[in-house]
A = this chain, B = another copy of it.
Amino acid sequence: MTTVHADTARIPVPTQSTYQTRVADYWNAEENPVNLELGKIDDLYHHHYGIGDADRTVLDEPDPGRRRERLTGELHRLEEAQAQLLASHLGQLSPADRVFDAGCGRGGGSVVANLRYGCHADGVTISAKQADFANQQARKRGIDDKVSYHHRNMLDTGFTSGAYAASWNNESTMYVELDLLFAEHARLLRRGGRYVTITGCYNDTYGRASREVSLINAHYICDIHPRSAYFRAMARNRLVPTHVQDLTQAALPYWELRKEADHLVTGIEDTFLTAYRNGSFQYLLIVADRV
């Protein structure tokens, strides 16, 4: 089944708007240590945050080099835990199944899914550089017969309708219109297929987007949706939630640790912590069935 897609993996994505070009430029240029240093550890390059309790004893490490190393490792362990949580909700997948990784970044999520289920994976990113990097990694791991990355628009992939058993967005929904996104997932997923997203969303209960949410938007050139927007757009696109979990509390240890890592911080750490704590921002897992 891979061959169906392999030939199109190098077709350049028609960038549709100035905004998308600017986002692509950002990610083509991005070389944040928090992504690269953590990925180097085991060649699982993620572009998302971590969850779960942190081992804060790494901060007590007296040796500066070792402290950096242990801090980096601990943050990677937390982001790995997040990736595993997402992967654990993809449903019962077999090696013959195919999954779609929307907004795949440097490719870590697809590798996790492949390692876990043996399944085929198609990752899509708007950054040509990320797609190249990820495909290189797949070749290096020897899984490029099953896992491939495509420089495409996740709203208009050109992939075959109904060909996917599962799909996900790991912190990549804030760059796109949700109705267009979920329409594409609904088109690609087979009946009964599973969709999963972990995302930051702003909290309608708090009100409109807080100042902190806007600062995060400015930092990443993204446009964070309110929580309500996810459920409205899913309702319109035959995606029915089966599990929803507020991960906000579970996300705090990662950020509290990260702000101590001088070699990794990007400057947005305190804004995240404030946003989570004042109730204006949430870290949310939604698992839905394609019906």
Give every chain B residue within 8 A of A217 (Cβ-Cβ): 209, 211, 214, 217-218
Cα distance, A204 to B194, chains bound together (Å): 13
Give every chain B residue within 8 A of A208 (Cβ-Cβ): 19, 175-177, 222-223
**CB of A225, distance to nearest CB on chain B (Å):** 10
Interface size class of A (residues with CB under 8 A): 35 or more
Cα distance, A243 to B215, chains bound together (Å): 27
Tell which of B16, B214, B221, B227 touches A210, judged by Cβ atoms closer than 8 Å: B221
Cα distance, A177 to B207, chains bound together (Å): 9
Stoichiometry (number of copies): 6
Asked if B209 and A223 make an inter-chain contact with CB atoms under 8 angstroms apart, the answer reads yes
Cα distance, A19 to B289, chains bound together (Å): 16
Which residue from chain B places its CB closest to the CB of A288 in the assembled complex? B231
Tell which of B19, B176, B206, B242 touches A227, judged by Cβ atoms closer than 8 Å: B242
Asked if B289 and A204 make an inter-chain contact with CB atoms under 8 angstroms apart, the answer reads yes
Contact A206:B19 (CB < 8 A) given known A227-B240, A235-B235: yes
A205 at the interface (CB under 8 A from B): yes
Contact A192:B205 (CB < 8 A) given known A231-B234, A243-B244, A278-B18: yes
Instruction: Name the interface residues of A211-247: CB closer than 8 Å to any CB of B.
Output: 211, 214-215, 217-218, 221-223, 227-228, 231-232, 234-235, 238, 240-246
